[in-house]
């Protein structure tokens, strides 16, 4: 790649240049940056972090383990986890197809992978709801068998599968297309079946990208609102998601409760992120 060669062989301004600040604008650019970051991100997040403790630490714990809140956190957690797992398999498969095969319509499929990012969540929400409602195209079919998709956790799961797909595909696709052909061919020459080659050569190589895509999809699922609330039906204890409870608490002017639910959601997301980090390190140690 020409870009690599030029940055290796060409002249790069030594770091000393950056430190002596030959280029002007340090104070102004950093000033603007810190102003925006403080006003838009840091101070508002401090407001979130400081709010739940109004009724002491026990108030915070009581909110999280309140039956309705706990049920919502559990539903959000399980649906996000399941949806991210499904996307793990399907995402790798689609990334594989896009990288390894030539077929008509490939560029179109590739461009449309990003549709869940580009489509406003409220639009995805009402569209999915219309399809999977008991009188919808797919919902009607399953309704004949007595299976409810919309207004049940299955609906939440489907919305999160929709929203999570691009995260896995876009994490894995670049790594897959940069794999060295020699390693795979060596495995094939030594008599490995395609499945063995995939499991022992390709999977370890894409594992870090896979795990980071998984955690992004999961975190997005935990916090997703617009595409879920229409199809979920929002029945307390059954199909109510955690973000909706923030809205419910705010409507009751229970600011501390809303902030507690928000922090509970963030804690779950960080816990998963942390667990995946450990997993990644474990795989790295095993030399996988």
Partner 1 sequence: MRRKSAKSPQNIADYTLILFAFFWMALIIFLPLASVLFNAFKGGVSKYLETFADPDAMDALKLTLLVTAIVLPLNIVFGIASAWAITRFEFVGKTILLSIIDLPFSLSPVISGLVWVLMFGAQGWFGEFLQAHDIDVIYALPGIVLATLLVTLPFVARELIPLMDDNGTDEEVAAVTLGASGWDVFFRITLPNIKWALLYGVLLCMARAMGEFGAVSVVSGHIRGLTNTLPLHIEVAYNEYNTIGAFGAATILVGLAFVTLAIKTILEWRYADELSAQHRH
- Residues 128-167 within binding reach of partner 1 (CB under 8 A): 128-131, 136-138, 161-162, 165
- In the complex, what is the shortest distance from the CB of residue 219 to partner 1, in angstroms, rounded to a whole number? 5
**191-230 footprint of partner 1 as x/- string (CB under 8 A):** ---x------------------------x--xxxxx---x
Residues 36 to 55: which contact partner 1 by CB under 8 A? 36-37, 40-45, 47-48, 51
Q: Which is nearer to partner 1, 7 or 282 (CB)?
A: 7
Sign of the alpha-carbon torsion through 46, 52, 58, 64: negative
In angstroms, the Cα distances linking 101 to 7, 105, 201 are 32, 11, 19
Query: How many whole angstroms separate alpha carbon 34 and alpha carbon 48?
Result: 20
**Length of the chain, in residues:** 288
Binding status of residue 233 toward partner 1 by CB under 8 A: no
DSSP state of 55: G
Q: In degrees rounded to 5, what are phi and psi of residue 4? A: -65, -45
Binding status of residue 71 toward partner 1 by CB under 8 A: no
Interacting residue with partner 1 among 62, 250, 280, 283 (CB under 8 A): 250
Among the listed ranges 67-75, 142-150, 203-211, 259-267, the one in contact with partner 1 (CB under 8 A) is 259-267
User: Burial code of 232-253, b = ≥16 C-beta within 10 A, e = fewer?
Assistant: bbbeeeebbbbbbbbebbeeee
Residue from 271, 272, 238 nearest 72 by CA = 238
- In the complex, what is the shortest distance from the CB of residue 197 to partner 1, in angstroms, rounded to a whole number? 11
Binding status of residue 32 toward partner 1 by CB under 8 A: yes
- What are the structure tokens assigned to 35, written together? 């102003």
Q: Which is nearer to partner 1, 104 or 285 (CB)?
A: 104
Q: Which is nearer to partner 1, 12 or 284 (CB)?
A: 12
Q: Which is nearer to partner 1, 21 or 68 (CB)?
A: 21
DSSP state of 37: I
In angstroms, the Cα distances linking 244 to 169, 226, 227, 252, 262 are 28, 10, 12, 13, 10
- In the complex, what is the shortest distance from the CB of residue 4 to partner 1, in angstroms, rounded to a whole number? 10
DSSP state of 288: -
Q: Total number of residues binding partner 1 (CB under 8 A)?
A: 103
Interacting residue with partner 1 among 8, 253, 278, 287 (CB under 8 A): 253
Residues 88 to 117: which contact partner 1 by CB under 8 A? 90, 93-94, 96-103, 105, 107, 109-116
């Amino acid at each position: 790649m020409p870009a690599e060669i030029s940055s290796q062989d060409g002249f790069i301004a030594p770091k000393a240049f950056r430190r002596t600040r030959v280029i002007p604008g340090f104070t102004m650019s950093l000033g603007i940056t810190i102003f925006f970051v403080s006003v838009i991100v840091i101070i508002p997040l401090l407001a979130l972090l400081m709010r739940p403790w109004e009724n002491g630490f026990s108030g915070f714990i009581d909110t999280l383990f309140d039956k309705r809140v706990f049920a919502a956190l559990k539903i959000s957690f399980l649906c996000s986890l399941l949806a991210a797992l499904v996307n793990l398999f399907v995402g790798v498969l689609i990334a594989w197809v896009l990288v390894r095969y030539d077929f008509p319509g490939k560029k179109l499929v590739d461009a449309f992978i990003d549709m869940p990012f580009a489509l406003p969540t409220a639009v995805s929400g009402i569209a999915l709801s219309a399809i999977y409602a008991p009188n919808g195209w797919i919902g009607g079919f399953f309704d004949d068998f007595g299976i409810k998709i919309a207004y049940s956790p299955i609906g939440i799961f489907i919305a999160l599968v929709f929203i999570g797909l691009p995260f896995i595909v876009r994490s894995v696709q670049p790594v897959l297309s940069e794999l060295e052909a020699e390693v795979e061919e060596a495995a094939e020459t030594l008599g490995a079946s395609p499945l063995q080659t995939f499991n022992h050569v390709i999977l370890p190589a894409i594992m870090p990208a896979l795990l980071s895509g998984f955690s992004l999809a999961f975190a997005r699922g935990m916090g997703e609102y617009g595409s879920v609330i229409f199809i979920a039906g929002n029945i307390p204890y059954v199909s109510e998601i955690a973000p909706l409870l923030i809205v419910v608490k705010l409507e009751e002017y229970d600011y501390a409760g809303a902030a507690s639910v928000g922090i509970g959601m963030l804690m779950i997301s960080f816990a998963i992120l942390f667990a995946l980090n450990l997993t990644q390190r474990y795989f790295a140690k095993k030399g996988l």
